[in-house]
Amino acid sequence: MTRTSIARTAATLIALFPAIVAGLHVVQAGNYHPQSQAVSELALGRDGWLMAIAFCSLGTGTLFLAALLRRLDSRPRTAPLLIGISGLLSFVSAFVHADGPNGTTTHGQIHQAVGVVTFVLMVSGMFVSVRTFRGDRRFEALAMPTLVWGLAAVGCFLLIPLSGTAYFGVAQRVFLAVILGWALTVAVRENRKSRRPDSAGQTARTAQEVPLAERDAELEEGLELGMALDSLRDDRDVELVGEGVQAVDERAPAQVSVEAARE
């Protein structure tokens, strides 16, 4: 796959996660409270099986994002590795569900631990990507924004336990918006940047065609000018011939007069 197709696939799969979450908010309205409940608790309600698709889509999209980073000019290893592992852990979250508000279970604790590790790996990958982007001509401009994104992600991550149970869902969604926003930005930027060389190539070809057309026009004008000069030269030859004939005619009477005098 090309970098463009990898970026497009990553963006599509990652964007599917918030789309499914938003749809389940509507389906489970009245029974689910996003202000206080975690996103993963949507798997416990009506049509909760869609969350398995959402997590698998997020995990696959994150793996494609890691593959995209691996193909940068500097061929980084650490950032793609961290982000790739976080993508694999999303598959665990897809099938090991979170606990509901009524109790704590082993699989719920596993889900929570996996979620924390996933978030830490993703944020770590963002910070490592800052140096990676600085060494890549396509993503150099994204290095400083990635650093800001990483700092914002750390702040939002620390805000989750500080928000308490009443606003746990809000804090988690803000954190998810930060890291998913960064991932989508990277994928979309690569998709757009990959199209520009074609446009530049088309511009270069157009720029080359213009001088060629101008040279053809100049050549044509040169040929016309040469033909004009040839015609002028022909006229000049005729004129010179005419002048020679006229000179002979003018010398003829003088020669006749001399010969008459000699007689």
- 212: confidence class by pLDDT, cuts 50, 70, 90: very low
Q: Let me know the angle formed at the C-alpha of 239 by 237 and 245, rounded to the nearest 5 degrees.
A: 105
Question: The pTM is what?
Answer: 0.72
What pLDDT is stored for residue 101 in this prediction? 72
- 72: confidence class by pLDDT, cuts 50, 70, 90: confident
Residue 237's identity, in one-letter code, is D
Rounded-to-integer distance, Cα 101 and Cα 179, Å: 26
Domain edges within the chain? 3-198
Tokens of 49: 């099986």
Q: What is the H or E stretch that residue 34 is in?
A: none
Kindly calculate the radius of gyration of the chain based on its CA atoms and give it in whole angstroms: 40
pLDDT at 244 over 60: no
pLDDT at 239 over 60: no
